[in-house]
Chain A
């Protein structure tokens, strides 16, 4: 394969020129000029495209350099304190905070009370690069005099061990005058009793003599929401230790989000103005050292946060807390056409002492003649700067001029659906007033309008009506309150049909019904065969008479014995006829005895018993029945024979 010429156009031209022109020298110069032109032209064509400005900007930023060797410093601020006075143990590393595995507890001498304080990371410019700096603060108080050392300890940075040097704190009754007190921010809150969601403006003061302003100022604590966009900074003279001194003032808004006692403190990085480099005559000046950022913080501040009362909550409450007023709503036009959107603008003004936090639009109302949308529903409207504004009042009340601490504008888009609409729908809106501890209604009022027929179809209202079921489901969902009573109770979460006893309970009616059915069958059988019942009763009566007979026999009560014997024979024979037992006589008993017994001893016994008892009942001179007592064995045999027949 032939090598390809790198510049084919140029090669072609030179060859042609050399081949067709006899004047080599002139032509060579000309060719050289042409070559130069061609090369320059080629260079222009191949020029790289201009870089993206954003890429260029990014490339121009100093890069973040993480030092290979992690340096760590630890020192007390101030190094000398009185007993009980607070000092800060400030530990700083040139590493990312995320890469540092910091111990949860810091051990030190027992005389020192060590509590964790602020910790934060920042990136500072070293001239060529950005270098991370992570600081950990500890609040230390000494209870007794002496020189105390927090020993050296080891932490892991990116998995590598790094030694945190020891630091010494001297506790003296009277520290030297040259020792300046610890750099401390001052945090001030106008109120300490707050409601959840109530924005409050915190004021952080840094004396100008301590530092050169604050960087990465923030409020730390659980359950807080700090609005970094609201930080304002200015310098004013603040009375400190009896002297008016210039101080950096920072104001920022924070909102408690949890109920209970919350602890909050301010923290930020500053460049300390201590230890100026001494100027010594005849000694070359020491080059200025790189400014070191120090993490300073304030004392913790405790605020009491209460939940908003559920009682008395008004429609349209979207979390607004403070003292608000609603300006007159403004429409872009008051003459509308059906289906044409119109914009409604309303200003909400802060009349209270506190800051105006971001407000959430009240939800658009469901009106039959209107379709209403929130126009700025992507982000909560932010308050504008304080301004002097005329607050309109209700009709008939003169307007007042007052200072307004902020204004929020709500925008709605309204579409009239019918020509019958005469005014825009009122938009329920309310706020919670923490001073009076009650909800206040500031509903956005209606605006009179004239609606004319539009170009859209007349049934627009029908088309745009939302399905009631969808409307129901789109209602704002909230966590329901506590149940006041225990409600429906059960012995177990397991339903009865899965309990072991349930089949048994269901078996009970089955058993009852089966028993009833069996009983009915038996009853019907006995009705069809009454002799069974008669014989059973006769057997029972026979046994009863038999017992009486034996008792009378033992007592030698002859008359009773004879009567019981006769009655026993009668009840034993009655089912066979059937007949009433009392109507039977001895002749009725004899046929029931075996053929051989009728004329024998058994027959004789039956006859004797009936004869004697009849004589006892009917004769004027009743005979003695004592002789019958001796016939008890024979009578027993007769009764046994009769019982066998039953």
Chain B
């Protein structure tokens, strides 16, 4: 009688490149350290550009701090802007807001502080500066729905990972005991329930992040809100620098925005979004703010 076939568990796949059908070759016979070498090289290739840009961003940040302390706010704003273009950071955005405020550029300052809070809602200094600026300039904060308020409790990137991890954790806890031939325990079900609950609770926050990403701020003072997306259009009203509005849609060089109950078109350069849709736009927004 032949012995029964040996069960092959999933642990045999762990850290065995051959299990993935993956055998790297460098034209030489692969030794035992071939796979770790590939992993090491890939890791270095991934981290190296990031570390270089991080060090440059840090140097620019320190330049900005020095210039700000020497009351050279234009240079400080430029340095902070370049640092943010390399790698957005909450502290750099906060300092950019301060520098722009000192240059009497209310719109750019408020946008920078809002972006600082977008990245890090725990940044109390940026929150305080924002309240101070709004009180001084007599501006209102954006009117947020309840799910948008929830989305401000944590950094926007956290919600994505919380939802992903909680969903797949619950799926994994449901599936893996059966695959691993373990008895389903109570704690498995508890973890699955908690994971599912966290995922469902994070859904409104996701919607809030999505809708908040359309909020922007008027960059220039007395920006005309046009009736049509044309240069000769009649101005419905004029918006103060730093006033919040929501982007509705884009047409050519114009954005349709809703400010309170008023709907109108503004030029794209006159409106800065808290969350530019592309990383390139993010740098562009910063550059526009600096150029102004």
Residue on B nearest A578 in the bound complex, by CB: B2
Contact bitstring B3-18, A, C-beta under 8 A = 1, else 0: 0110110100000000
A485 CA to B91 CA, complexed, in Å: 6
Interface residues of B in 242-262 (CB under 8 A from A): none
Q: CB within 8 A of A482: which of B5, B8, B87, B95?
A: B95
Q: CB within 8 A of A479: which of B2, B101, B171, B210?
A: B101
Contact bitstring A476-514, B, C-beta under 8 A = 1, else 0: 011111111111111111111110001001100110010
Interface segment out of the listed B30-38, B113-121, B141-149, B223-231: B113-121
Determine the main DSSP class of B at the interface with A.
Answer: helix
The verdict on A516 contacting chain B, using a C-beta distance below 8 Å, is: yes
The verdict on B24 contacting chain A, using a C-beta distance below 8 Å, is: no
- Contact: A509 with B172, CB < 8 Å? yes
Once A483-B95, A578-B1 are accepted as A-B contacts, the answer to whether A495 and B120 lie under 8 Å apart by CB is: no
- Contact: B98 with A495, CB < 8 Å? no
The verdict on A307 contacting chain B, using a C-beta distance below 8 Å, is: yes
- Contact: B83 with A495, CB < 8 Å? no
The verdict on A402 contacting chain B, using a C-beta distance below 8 Å, is: no
- Contact: B4 with A477, CB < 8 Å? no
Once A513-B171, A513-B175, A578-B1 are accepted as A-B contacts, the answer to whether A483 and B279 lie under 8 Å apart by CB is: no
Interface segment out of the listed A47-55, A421-429, A522-530: A522-530
Residue on A nearest B181 in the bound complex, by CB: A520
- Contact: A492 with B171, CB < 8 Å? no
- Contact: B131 with A486, CB < 8 Å? no
Which one of A477, A486, A519, A526 has the greatest number of beta carbons of chain B within 10 Å?
A486
Which one of B115, B157, B178 has the greatest number of beta carbons of chain A within 10 Å?
B157
Contacts of B161 in A (CB 8 A): 496
Contact bitstring A570-582, B, C-beta under 8 A = 1, else 0: 0000100011100
Tell me, rounded to whole Å, the shortest Cβ–Cβ distance linking A102 to chain B.
25
**How many residues from A make CB contacts under 8 Å with B?**
45
Contact bitstring B119-139, A, C-beta under 8 A = 1, else 0: 110011110110111010000
- Contact: A488 with B128, CB < 8 Å? no
Residue on A nearest B83 in the bound complex, by CB: A486
Contacts of A496 in B (CB 8 A): 157, 160-161
Q: CB within 8 A of A495: which of B92, B124, B209, B278?
A: B209
A209 CA to B147 CA, complexed, in Å: 77
Which one of A260, A493, A530 has the greatest number of beta carbons of chain B within 10 Å?
A493
Contact bitstring B66-88, A, C-beta under 8 A = 1, else 0: 00110100000000000100011
- Contact: A579 with B277, CB < 8 Å? no
Contacts of A498 in B (CB 8 A): 210, 213, 275, 277
Residue on B nearest A531 in the bound complex, by CB: B2
The verdict on A28 contacting chain B, using a C-beta distance below 8 Å, is: no
Q: CB within 8 A of A523: which of B8, B156, B172, B213?
A: B8
Tell me, rounded to whole Å, the shortest Cβ–Cβ distance linking B162 to chain A.
11
Tell me, rounded to whole Å, the shortest Cβ–Cβ distance linking B38 to chain A.
19
**How many residues from B make CB contacts under 8 Å with A?**
67
Once A493-B88, A497-B159 are accepted as A-B contacts, the answer to whether A526 and B5 lie under 8 Å apart by CB is: yes
Contacts of A519 in B (CB 8 A): 10, 179
Tell me, rounded to whole Å, the shortest Cβ–Cβ distance linking B200 to chain A.
16
- Contact: B89 with A494, CB < 8 Å? no
Interface residues of A in 259-283 (CB under 8 A from B): 259-260
- Contact: A486 with B58, CB < 8 Å? yes
- Contact: B275 with A260, CB < 8 Å? no
The verdict on B155 contacting chain A, using a C-beta distance below 8 Å, is: yes
Tell me, rounded to whole Å, the shortest Cβ–Cβ distance linking A310 to chain B.
10
- Contact: B279 with A492, CB < 8 Å? yes
- Contact: B135 with A483, CB < 8 Å? no
The verdict on A533 contacting chain B, using a C-beta distance below 8 Å, is: yes
- Contact: B2 with A489, CB < 8 Å? no
Tell me, rounded to whole Å, the shortest Cβ–Cβ distance linking A419 to chain B.
38
Contacts of B10 in A (CB 8 A): 516, 519
A352 CA to B275 CA, complexed, in Å: 53
- Contact: A487 with B175, CB < 8 Å? no
Interface residues of B in 99-122 (CB under 8 A from A): 101, 115-116, 118-120
Tell me, rounded to whole Å, the shortest Cβ–Cβ distance linking A5 to chain B.
61
- Contact: A579 with B2, CB < 8 Å? yes
Residue on B nearest A513 in the bound complex, by CB: B175
The verdict on A449 contacting chain B, using a C-beta distance below 8 Å, is: no
- Contact: B120 with A488, CB < 8 Å? yes
Tell me, rounded to whole Å, the shortest Cβ–Cβ distance linking A554 to chain B.
27
A634 CA to B178 CA, complexed, in Å: 51
Contacts of A489 in B (CB 8 A): 54, 87-90, 119
- Contact: B129 with A307, CB < 8 Å? no
Once A516-B175, A517-B179 are accepted as A-B contacts, the answer to whether A494 and B279 lie under 8 Å apart by CB is: yes
Tell me, rounded to whole Å, the shortest Cβ–Cβ distance linking A305 to chain B.
9
A427 CA to B63 CA, complexed, in Å: 41
Q: CB within 8 A of A260: which of B71, B115, B131, B133?
A: B71
The verdict on A534 contacting chain B, using a C-beta distance below 8 Å, is: yes
- Contact: B126 with A482, CB < 8 Å? no
- Contact: B87 with A491, CB < 8 Å? yes
A30 CA to B95 CA, complexed, in Å: 99
Tell me, rounded to whole Å, the shortest Cβ–Cβ distance linking B228 to chain A.
30
A530 CA to B7 CA, complexed, in Å: 11
Contacts of B91 in A (CB 8 A): 483-488
Once A493-B282, A509-B171 are accepted as A-B contacts, the answer to whether A487 and B71 lie under 8 Å apart by CB is: no
A509 CA to B1 CA, complexed, in Å: 41
Which one of A260, A307, A497, A574 has the greatest number of beta carbons of chain B within 10 Å?
A497
Q: CB within 8 A of B94: which of A478, A483, A574?
A: A483
Q: CB within 8 A of A487: which of B4, B90, B135, B179?
A: B90
A465 CA to B161 CA, complexed, in Å: 44
- Contact: A493 with B275, CB < 8 Å? yes
A531 CA to B90 CA, complexed, in Å: 63
Residue on A nearest B71 in the bound complex, by CB: A259
Contacts of B118 in A (CB 8 A): 493
The verdict on B192 contacting chain A, using a C-beta distance below 8 Å, is: no
Residue on A nearest B285 in the bound complex, by CB: A493
Tell me, rounded to whole Å, the shortest Cβ–Cβ distance linking A50 to chain B.
46
- Contact: B135 with A477, CB < 8 Å? yes
A539 CA to B2 CA, complexed, in Å: 16
Contacts of A480 in B (CB 8 A): 94, 98, 124-126, 128-129, 132
Tell me, rounded to whole Å, the shortest Cβ–Cβ distance linking B101 to chain A.
7
- Contact: B160 with A486, CB < 8 Å? no
A523 CA to B7 CA, complexed, in Å: 8
The verdict on B168 contacting chain A, using a C-beta distance below 8 Å, is: yes
Listed by A's residue number, 27 A-B pairs whose Cβ atoms lie within 8 Å are A259-B71, A477-B128, A477-B132, A479-B133, A481-B98, A482-B94, A483-B94, A486-B57, A486-B58, A486-B89, A486-B92, A487-B116, A487-B123, A488-B155, A489-B54, A491-B87, A495-B159, A495-B160, A495-B213, A496-B157, A496-B161, A497-B159, A502-B160, A505-B164, A527-B7, A530-B5, A580-B2
A-side residues, CB < 8 A to B, are: 259-260, 307, 477-498, 502, 505-506, 509-510, 513, 516-517, 519-520, 523, 526-527, 530, 533-534, 574, 578-580
Given contacts A482-B68, A490-B89, 6 further A-B contacts (CB under 8 A): A481-B98, A488-B89, A494-B213, A496-B161, A498-B210, A505-B164
9 smallest beta-carbon distances between A and B, as pairs: A487-B91, A483-B91, A480-B125, A486-B89, A487-B90, A495-B156, A488-B120, A477-B132, A496-B160
